[in-house]
């Protein structure tokens, strides 16, 4: 850390050393929620704190840290009786990327989880931590936005709520994740019967590995027997208010061809507001959002038709 | 990445014909690093691993302003924080300016800060957290001053001065015209011209700069990860206001240097002051942010280059104007600018060269030495002009290079005397390795081909009229050898190479040779690891010391064994001699036995050899005339690059590097240097940059700053070495540490131009710049930049064909249409 500005206030007296921070290890989810309901408590685990600190959004000197990554209730990938896949919030991203059950159904999620940082980091950070860190440059939330996944959050008081990714990432006052609430699970939708569905995640990296993307796009495409689009979902990350779901309902029912892809890509480019940073100017990123939307949609449609050349091509 | 290794040069087939010594078998063999085990097992002691009893930890408070007056510094709250032992400011220093060439840096700011990161105050405390917390409690009142945040701002009429004594913000300036450039340009058939600019590049060593200091009476010992212990000692003594004798510098293990640890920054000086103030050992290690804000990155340079050629492709004249961004303090930048102005003139047979170079102060991070030492900037700018010329002349680049390349015996316009030179062999081998002819015959869409060449020194006479090294080789009573030398190893394997040289000379196994670490109190004097000099300069000193030690051993053995010394030899740690003239058996005695017997006698003596070698070079004058090194190494590198037309992103599909470093002493170590240089060159060329705000990097960390990874290395990589022998080198060897980096940016830029017709004029060559360049190509003519025109218009040959795929060769190259250097991206790139 380098302190660029002296931020200390003035005033006499010996400055107090920082008070020690307590580490309270819960044995159960209920215990964790009870601890988190107390003033000054903050979640530890899954890389949340690290990311928040990077964005200077860390809680102001928490007095108690509550590690949650080891809770059995938050672990693992399960397929429910209704066929929906639920991923515990403490599941490491590497496990998400390696879950065959997910890859068979939603390769967009597999690819997003597998594209995060490096293997060492993917083995450490969790899905819940990745989402709760509230970083529009993160990959899994983009895929989950395109999929329309359900997030289950719980608090000691008030039971549980179900939110979409964009809802969860709103300010608490607008219905987003509230202090004391813990993201416990992510539930993926089932694939609709009777329609060919494919999905794909495309990420544009300057260096090719271990970096935040210049642009990243998730696409889900459903096609009927005539090749018409029955589902078109496109989500874009690293843009203002991201991840942003691009509204494409106007294109539904149309034939999925190059013109439709072009229109969807144009909608993605014009409907999102990237920002200037070291990865590129906003003007360039807008052009790349169009390009990578094209690529993601095209690959998703390939997979829907069962002609994809990547793992996960299916029907 | 699949690496195809071209075999290193074997022993010359006809050594006598080439006037070469027959080389011992150890030379050219893949000896394992002598420090491999301690490094991989974590036992190596790097700067931050030093532990002294009662040691405190330091932290530094830095300026948040690019330029400001320091109105007041209140340290009272910080001092009252429990656990804090000292808080120091400029008032606690000797108030002496220091610097390698132009002393302009205070250890801590006195009344002005000149860049974001300038050191203002420092703390020593019982632990790091307390030290950093105390920094937050220091209250500084600044009065911000107008700042100059670019070369153009610094050179503008009436610009604010970074230092009051540097008029026009010019820190250093020189010029020359050797051979009469104007006359040769008039006689030229083809002239090319352009402007090219480089950016700051950080060393980004895996280990940051660090020091542990401890005082005993009036002397301070500093354990530092410096590349240059003896030069650093001199500068630290100045900065601390102490006589040289009061400072001892001990080199720790070094986790990468690349020029960044050559003692131009304040970290060690502050550490020593904290230690004196507290009366306890203090350790101060840069954080990664400290390193980005306040180390000494590569100097951004802007070149205007003009080259003249005859119609048949012979180079006539070169004219360059160089403006270099010194940042706020000078360090070694003025020496770097010297190399960046003259060195590359030892590549081609220029009839005339003219240059005007200025080093310009800005309120930005100070710059300094970085692997390549100005060469990569020069090779990028001048290499681009050569590539343009090849296009205009209609000659393939390798052929144009071969037509003009220097040879053994050449003398550059600056009196650089080329002894061994296999540049032409490098060019030919690199072209063969990448199948230049085949690829030209069967072009692939969006793929481009390019070649670059470079020359580097093996040591450089920079720091006064001495570029030498000295060594002691002591044969031990147990039959081993200890090499005592002041050079050190920054991770390149230099100590291994020196052990190999000593072992080969002595007839011992490498495992029986140990090499000391530099300690200015104990080891011999040496300049350190810079300018690709250790193998050549220290190698010669060690070889001479070993030779003398071996001679003394044989003299002792001669007395002990009753055979003349001239008939004795050492093999596998045993002295051998022939049968006696009277028919006795052949004789032998282990080295340790001979050494002990020599010592254990009346008036006995230890068996020690000393050796010294001063680079047979000249100290260049103020206009940079003088043979800066006794030996020059050369390289030719070629690349094939593919550009994604939808994004502008590039992939290096194939890369071939052929290096002339004389005899390859240790092939894996040499290949490692070449490979690493290519990686670092790709970083400079493609990925390494910051987004800037108000004169500082927006986020000074690896999240923004993209070091190259395996992911951007060439898909296919060929590394080879020229069959070469340097008569003044140890066993024929020359330096190899830097040269492979030098031509990389130019090669990538030329390959992109060849692939898609876009020539980027400002590093790095980001996908975005290439993308906008391609977009501009497709733009309707009326919206294209009206200043875009081919260099032909200013060249005296009106009927020369325009370069077909490169419309960027305008009189001011950076103003041509498909010139992504001026795209939206580039304007945000440097300090605006």
What local confidence, expressed as pLDDT, does residue B824 receive? Answer: 36
| Whether residue B507 sits in one domain with residue B599 | yes
Mean pLDDT of B252-276: 97
State the pLDDT confidence band at A315, using cuts at 50, 70 and 90: very low
Chain A residues close to B644, C-beta within 8 Å: none
Least CB–CB distance from A4: residue in B62, B287, B687: B62
Question: Strand pairing partners for A199?
Answer: A220
A2 to B62: CB separation less than 8 angstroms, yes or no: yes
State the pLDDT confidence band at A52, using cuts at 50, 70 and 90: low
Residue ranges of E strands in A59-214: 64-67, 77-79, 85-88, 150-154, 160-163, 182-187, 196-204
| Whether residue B657 sits in one domain with residue B601 | no
State the pLDDT confidence band at B190, using cuts at 50, 70 and 90: very high
Virtual torsion, Cα A124, A130, A135, A137, nearest 10 deg: 70
DSSP classification of residue B687:
I
State the pLDDT confidence band at A13, using cuts at 50, 70 and 90: low
| Whether residue B532 sits in one domain with residue B438 | no
User: Considering the domain boundaries, does residue B33 fall inside one?
Assistant: no
Indicate if the pLDDT at residue A7 is higher than 50: no
DSSP classification of residue A44:
E
What local confidence, expressed as pLDDT, does residue A194 receive? Answer: 74
Chain B residues close to A11, C-beta within 8 Å: 77
What local confidence, expressed as pLDDT, does residue A59 receive? Answer: 65
Least CB–CB distance from A6: residue in B83, B129, B139: B139
User: Considering the domain boundaries, does residue B362 fall inside one?
Assistant: no
Indicate if the pLDDT at residue A311 is higher than 50: no
State the pLDDT confidence band at B25, using cuts at 50, 70 and 90: very high
| Whether residue B397 sits in one domain with residue B276 | no
- Determine the Cα–Cα distance for residues B309 and B404; give it in Å rounded to an integer: 10
Distance from CA of B139 to the nearest CA of A (A): 6
- Determine the Cα–Cα distance for residues B668 and B655; give it in Å rounded to an integer: 18
What local confidence, expressed as pLDDT, does residue B786 receive? Answer: 33
A164 phi, psi to nearest 5 deg: -85, 170
- Determine the Cα–Cα distance for residues B525 and A310; give it in Å rounded to an integer: 62
Indicate if the pLDDT at residue B406 is higher than 70: yes
Distance from CA of B552 to the nearest CA of A (A): 56
- Determine the Cα–Cα distance for residues B546 and B555; give it in Å rounded to an integer: 14
> How does pLDDT run across B586-637, given as a tens digit for each residue?
999 999 999 999 999 999 999 999 999 999 999 999 999 999 999 999 999 9
Please report, for the domain that includes residue B474, its CATH number: 3.30.365.10
User: Considering the domain boundaries, does residue B592 fall inside one?
Assistant: yes
A160 phi, psi to nearest 5 deg: -120, 155
> How does pLDDT run across B211-251, given as a tens digit for each residue?
999 999 999 999 999 999 999 999 999 999 999 999 999 99
B139 to A15: CB separation less than 8 angstroms, yes or no: no
Chain B residues close to A211, C-beta within 8 Å: 703, 706
What local confidence, expressed as pLDDT, does residue B569 receive? Answer: 96
Chain A residues close to B826, C-beta within 8 Å: none
A5 touches chain B (CB under 8 A): yes
- Determine the Cα–Cα distance for residues A219 and A230; give it in Å rounded to an integer: 13
Q: Which residues, at least 6 apart from B792, have a Cβ–Cβ distance to it below 8 Å?
A: B392, B798, B800, B802
User: Considering the domain boundaries, does residue B172 fall inside one?
Assistant: no
- Determine the Cα–Cα distance for residues A302 and A256; give it in Å rounded to an integer: 11
Least CB–CB distance from B82: residue in A7, A17, A284: A17
User: Considering the domain boundaries, does residue B64 fall inside one?
Assistant: yes
- Determine the Cα–Cα distance for residues B115 and B101; give it in Å rounded to an integer: 20
**How many H helices and E strands in chain A?**
11, 12
A8 to B689: CB separation less than 8 angstroms, yes or no: no
Please report, for the domain that includes residue B59, its CATH number: 3.90.1170.50
Indicate if the pLDDT at residue A175 is higher than 50: yes
Block residue for tokens 């020196």: B498
Mean pLDDT of chain B, nearest integer = 91
| Whether residue B382 sits in one domain with residue B476 | no
Nearest to B620 by CA among B813, B413, B384, B385: B413
**In whole angstroms, what separates CA A260 from the centre of its chain?**
27
> How does pLDDT run across A53-74, given as a tens digit for each residue?
666 666 667 888 899 989 999 9
Question: B661 with B653: CB under 8 angstroms?
Answer: no
| Whether residue B279 sits in one domain with residue B237 | yes
| Whether residue B738 sits in one domain with residue B593 | no
What local confidence, expressed as pLDDT, does residue B16 receive? Answer: 41
| Whether residue B588 sits in one domain with residue B665 | no
B691 to A276: CB separation less than 8 angstroms, yes or no: yes
B289 to A2: CB separation less than 8 angstroms, yes or no: yes
What local confidence, expressed as pLDDT, does residue A207 receive? Answer: 86
Indicate if the pLDDT at residue B17 is higher than 60: no
What local confidence, expressed as pLDDT, does residue A49 receive? Answer: 67
| Whether residue B496 sits in one domain with residue B389 | no
Least CB–CB distance from B712: residue in A18, A54, A207: A207
Pick the range with the lowest mean pLDDT from A135-139, A245-249, B8-12, B388-392.
Answer: B8-12
**Where in the sequence is the domain holding B274, given as residue range(s)?**
47-145+209-285
What does the block give as tokens for A295? 């690529």
Q: How far apart are the first and last CA of chain A?
A: 51
| Whether residue B277 sits in one domain with residue B230 | yes
Mean pLDDT of B710-732: 96
Question: A227 with A255: CB under 8 angstroms?
Answer: yes
What local confidence, expressed as pLDDT, does residue B463 receive? Answer: 85
What local confidence, expressed as pLDDT, does residue B795 receive? Answer: 32
Determine how many CB atoms are found less than 10 A away from the CB of residue B520: 21
Give the residue from B614, B648, B667 where a domain finishes.
Answer: B614
User: Considering the domain boundaries, does residue B355 fall inside one?
Assistant: no
Chain B residues close to A283, C-beta within 8 Å: 824
A15 to B81: CB separation less than 8 angstroms, yes or no: yes
Distance from CA of B47 to the nearest CA of A (A): 19
What local confidence, expressed as pLDDT, does residue B402 receive? Answer: 98
Indicate if the pLDDT at residue B796 is higher than 60: no
The 3-class SS string of B484-536 reads EECCCCCCCCHHHHHHHHHHHHHCCCHHHEEECCCECCCCCCECCCCCCCHHH
Nearest to B365 by CA among B72, B680, B113: B113
Pick the range with the lowest mean pLDDT from B377-381, B734-738, B798-802.
Answer: B798-802
Question: B736 with B432: CB under 8 angstroms?
Answer: no
Distance from CA of B63 to the nearest CA of A (A): 6
Chain B residues close to A288, C-beta within 8 Å: 647
Question: B806 with B388: CB under 8 angstroms?
Answer: yes
Mean pLDDT of A280-288: 98
What local confidence, expressed as pLDDT, does residue A157 receive? Answer: 86
Indicate if the pLDDT at residue B462 is higher than 60: yes
Sheet of A215-223, strands arranged across: A196-204, A215-223, A229-236, A244-246
Question: B480 with B503: CB under 8 angstroms?
Answer: no
What local confidence, expressed as pLDDT, does residue B746 receive? Answer: 98
Q: Which residue of B has its CA nearest to A51?
A: B703
Mean pLDDT of B383-410: 98
What local confidence, expressed as pLDDT, does residue B725 receive? Answer: 97
Question: B665 with B535: CB under 8 angstroms?
Answer: yes
In a 13 Å sphere around the CA of B780, the CA atoms on its Cβ side amount to: 2
Determine how many CB atoms are found less than 10 A away from the CB of residue B411: 13
Give the residue from B241, B261, B285 where a domain finishes.
Answer: B285
> How does pLDDT run across A194-230, given as a tens digit for each residue?
789 999 999 999 888 899 999 999 999 999 999 999 9
A280 touches chain B (CB under 8 A): yes
What local confidence, expressed as pLDDT, does residue B434 receive? Answer: 98
SS3 B315: strand
Mean pLDDT of B326-345: 96
Calculate Rg over the CA atoms of chain B: 28
What local confidence, expressed as pLDDT, does residue A126 receive? Answer: 94
Determine how many CB atoms are found less than 10 A away from the CB of residue A194: 10
What number is the ipTM of this complex? 0.91
State the pLDDT confidence band at B487, using cuts at 50, 70 and 90: very high
> How does pLDDT run across B654-668, given as a tens digit for each residue?
999 999 999 999 999
Give the residue from B285, B307, B322 where a domain finishes.
Answer: B285
What local confidence, expressed as pLDDT, does residue B15 receive? Answer: 38
| Whether residue B536 sits in one domain with residue B390 | no
What local confidence, expressed as pLDDT, does residue B806 receive? Answer: 41
Indicate if the pLDDT at residue B270 is higher than 50: yes
What local confidence, expressed as pLDDT, does residue A192 receive? Answer: 83
What local confidence, expressed as pLDDT, does residue A307 receive? Answer: 56
State the pLDDT confidence band at B20, using cuts at 50, 70 and 90: low
What local confidence, expressed as pLDDT, does residue B830 receive? Answer: 26
| Whether residue B278 sits in one domain with residue B131 | yes
Phi-psi region of A204 (alpha: psi -120 to 50; beta: other; left: phi over 0): beta
Chain B residues close to A204, C-beta within 8 Å: 647, 649
Q: Which residues, at least 6 apart from A87, have a Cβ–Cβ distance to it below 8 Å?
A: A76, A77, A96, A99, A102, A127, A185, A186, A187, A188
What local confidence, expressed as pLDDT, does residue B70 receive? Answer: 98
Which contiguous run of DSSP H or E holds residue B210?
strand B210-216
Percent of residues, chain B, with pLDDT higher than 70: 91
State the pLDDT confidence band at A11, using cuts at 50, 70 and 90: very low
Question: B214 with B275: CB under 8 angstroms?
Answer: yes
Q: Number of folded domains in chain B?
A: 3
A206 to B767: CB separation less than 8 angstroms, yes or no: yes
Pick the range with the lowest mean pLDDT from A9-18, A278-287, B69-78, B351-360.
Answer: A9-18
Q: Which residue of B has its CA nearest to A6?
A: B136
What local confidence, expressed as pLDDT, does residue B13 receive? Answer: 40
What does the block give as tokens for A268? 């993605």
Indicate if the pLDDT at residue B563 is higher than 70: yes
Mean pLDDT of B301-310: 98
Chain A residues close to B78, C-beta within 8 Å: 15
What local confidence, expressed as pLDDT, does residue A61 receive? Answer: 74
Mean pLDDT of B51-68: 98
B689 to A208: CB separation less than 8 angstroms, yes or no: no
A56 touches chain B (CB under 8 A): no
User: Considering the domain boundaries, does residue B342 fall inside one?
Assistant: no
What local confidence, expressed as pLDDT, does residue B22 receive? Answer: 85
User: Considering the domain boundaries, does residue B333 fall inside one?
Assistant: no
Q: Which residue of B has its CA nearest to A289?
A: B647
Residue ranges of E strands in B51-153: 56-62, 68-74, 84-89, 112-113, 119-125, 139-144
What local confidence, expressed as pLDDT, does residue A46 receive? Answer: 73
Chain A residues close to B828, C-beta within 8 Å: 276, 281
SS3 A163: strand
């Amino acid at each position: 850390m380098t302190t660029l500005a002296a931020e200390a206030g003035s005033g006499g007296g010996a400055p107090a050393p920082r008070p020690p921070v307590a580490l309270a290890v819960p044995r159960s989810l209920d215990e964790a929620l009870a601890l988190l309901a107390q003033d000054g408590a903050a979640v530890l685990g899954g890389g949340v704190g690290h990311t928040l600190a990077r964005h200077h959004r860390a809680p102001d000197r928490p007095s108690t840290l509550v590690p949650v990554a080891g809770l059995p209730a938050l672990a693992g990938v399960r397929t429910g009786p209704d066929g929906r896949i639920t991923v515990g919030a403490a599941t490491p991203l590497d496990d998400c990327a390696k879950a065959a059950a997910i890859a068979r159904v939603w390769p967009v999620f597999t690819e997003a989880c597998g594209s995060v940082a490096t293997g060492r980091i993917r083995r450490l950070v969790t899905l819940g931590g990745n989402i709760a860190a509230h970083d529009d440059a993160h990959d899994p939330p983009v895929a989950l936005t395109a999929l329309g996944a359900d997030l289950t959050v719980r608090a000691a008081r008030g039971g549980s709520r179900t939110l979409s990714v964009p809802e969860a990432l709103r300010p608490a006052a607008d219905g987003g994740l509230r202090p004391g609430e813990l993201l416990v699970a992510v539930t993926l939708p089932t694939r609709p019967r009777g329609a060919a569905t494919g999905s794909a995640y495309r990420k544009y990296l300057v260096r090719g590995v271990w970096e935040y993307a210049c642009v990243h796009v998730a696409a889900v495409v459903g096609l009927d027997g005539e090749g018409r689009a029955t589902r078109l979902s496109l989500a874009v990350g690293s843009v203002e208010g991201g991840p942003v779901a691009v509204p494409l309902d106007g294109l539904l029912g149309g034939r999925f061809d190059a013109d439709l892809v072009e229109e969807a890509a144009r909608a993605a480019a014009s409907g999102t507001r990237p920002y200037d940073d070291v990865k590129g100017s906003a003007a360039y990123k807008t052009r790349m959002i169009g390009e990578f939307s094209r690529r993601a949609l095209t690959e998703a449609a390939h997979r829907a038709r069962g002609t994809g050349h990547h793992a996960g091509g299916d029907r | 990445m699949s690496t195809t290794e071209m075999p290193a040069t074997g022993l010359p087939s006809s050594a006598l014909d080439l006037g070469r010594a027959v080389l011992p078998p150890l030379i050219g063999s893949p000896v394992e690093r002598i420090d491999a085990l301690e490094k991989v097992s974590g036992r190596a002691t790097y700067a931050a691993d030093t532990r002294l009893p009662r040691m405190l930890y330091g932290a530094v408070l830095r300026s948040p302003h690019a330029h400001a007056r320091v109105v007041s510094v209140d340290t009272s709250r910080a001092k009252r924080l429990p656990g804090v032992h000292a808080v120091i400011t400029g008032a606690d220093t000797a108030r002496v300016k220091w610097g390698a060439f132009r002393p302009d840096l205070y250890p801590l700011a006195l009344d002005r800060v000149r860049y974001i990161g300038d050191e203002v105050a420092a703390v020593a405390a019982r632990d790091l957290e307390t030290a950093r917390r105390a920094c937050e409690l220091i209250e500084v009142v600044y009065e911000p001053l107008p700042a100059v945040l670019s070369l153009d701002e610094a050179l503008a009429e009436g610009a604010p001065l970074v230092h009051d004594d540097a008029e026009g913000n010019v820190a250093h300036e020189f010029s020359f015209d050797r051979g009469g450039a104007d006359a040769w340009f008039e006689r030229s058939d083809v002239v090319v011209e352009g402007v090219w600019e480089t950016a700051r590049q950080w060393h980004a060593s895996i280990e940051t700069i660090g020091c542990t200091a401890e005082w005993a009476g009036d002397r301070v010992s500093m354990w530092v990860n410096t590349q240059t212990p003896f030069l650093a000692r001199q500068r630290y003594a100045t900065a601390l206001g102490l006589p040289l004798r009061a400072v001892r510098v001990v080199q720790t293990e070094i986790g990468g240097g690349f020029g960044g640890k050559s003692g131009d920054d304040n970290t060690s000086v502050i550490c020593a002051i904290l230690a004196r103030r507290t009366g306890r050992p203090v350790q101060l290690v840069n954080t990664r942010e400290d390193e980005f804000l306040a180390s000494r990155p590569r100097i951004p340079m802007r070149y205007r280059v003009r080259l003249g050629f005859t119609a048949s492709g012979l180079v006539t004249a070169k004219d360059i104007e160089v403006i270099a961004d010194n940042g706020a303090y000078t360090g070694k930048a003025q020496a770097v600018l010297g190399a960046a102005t003259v060195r590359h003139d030892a590549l081609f047979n220029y009839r005339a060269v003219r240059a005007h170079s200025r080093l310009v102060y800005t309120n930005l991070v100070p710059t300094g030495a970085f692997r390549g030492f100005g060469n990569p900037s020069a090779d990028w700018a001048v290499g681009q002009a050569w590539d343009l010329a090849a296009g205009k002349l209609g000659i393939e680049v390798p052929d144009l290079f071969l037509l003009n390349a220097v040879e053994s015996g050449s003398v550059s316009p600056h009196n650089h005397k080329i002894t061994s030179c296999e540049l032409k062999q490098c060019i030919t081998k690199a072209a063969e390795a990448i199948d230049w002819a085949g690829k030209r015959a069967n072009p692939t869409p969006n793929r481009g081909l390019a070649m670059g060449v470079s020359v580097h020194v093996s040591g450089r006479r920079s720091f006064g009229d001495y570029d030498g090294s000295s060594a002691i080789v002591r044969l031990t009573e147990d039959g081993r050898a200890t090499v005592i030398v002041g050079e050190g190893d920054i991770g390149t394997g230099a100590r291994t190479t020196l052990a190999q040289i000593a072992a080969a000379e002595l007839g011992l196994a490498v495992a029986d040779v140990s090499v000391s670490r530099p300690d200015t109190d104990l080891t011999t004097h040496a300049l350190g690891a810079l300018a690709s000099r250790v193998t050549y300069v220290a190698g010669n000193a060690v070889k001479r010391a070993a030779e003398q030690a071996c001679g003394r051993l044989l003299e002792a053995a001669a007395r002990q064994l009753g055979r003349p010394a001239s008939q004795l030899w050492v093999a596998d740690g045993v002295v051998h001699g022939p049968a006696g003239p009277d028919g006795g058996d052949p004789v032998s005695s282990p080295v340790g036995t001979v050494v002990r017997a020599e010592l254990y006698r009346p008036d006995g003596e230890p068996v020690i050899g000393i050796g010294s070698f001063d680079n047979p070079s000249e100290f260049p004058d103020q206009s940079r005339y003088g043979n800066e090194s006794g030996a020059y190494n050369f390289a030719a590198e070629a690349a094939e690059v593919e550009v994604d037309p939808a994004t502008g992103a590039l992939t290096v599909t194939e890369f071939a590097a052929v290096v002339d470093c004389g005899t390859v002493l240790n092939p894996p170590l040499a290949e490692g240097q070449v490979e690493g240089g290519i990686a670092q060159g790709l970083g400079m060329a493609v990925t390494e940059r910051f987004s800037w705000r108000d004169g500082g990097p927006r986020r000074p960390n690896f999240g923004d700053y993209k070091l190259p990874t395996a992911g951007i290395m060439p898909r296919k990589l060929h590394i080879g070495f020229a069959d070469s022998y340097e008569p003044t080198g140890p066993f024929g060897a020359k330096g190899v540490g830097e040269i492979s980096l030098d031509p990389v940016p130019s090669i990538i830029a030329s390959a992109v131009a060849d692939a898609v017709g876009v020539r980027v004029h400002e590093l790095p060559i980001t996908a975005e710049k290439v993308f906008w360049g391609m977009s501009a190509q497709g733009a309707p003519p009326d919206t294209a930049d009206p200043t875009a025109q081919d260099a032909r218009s200013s060249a005296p040959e009106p009927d020369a064909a325009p370069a077909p795929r490169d419309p960027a060769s305008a009189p001011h190259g950076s103003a041509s249409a498909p010139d992504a250097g001026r795209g939206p991206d580039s304007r945000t790139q440097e300090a605006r």
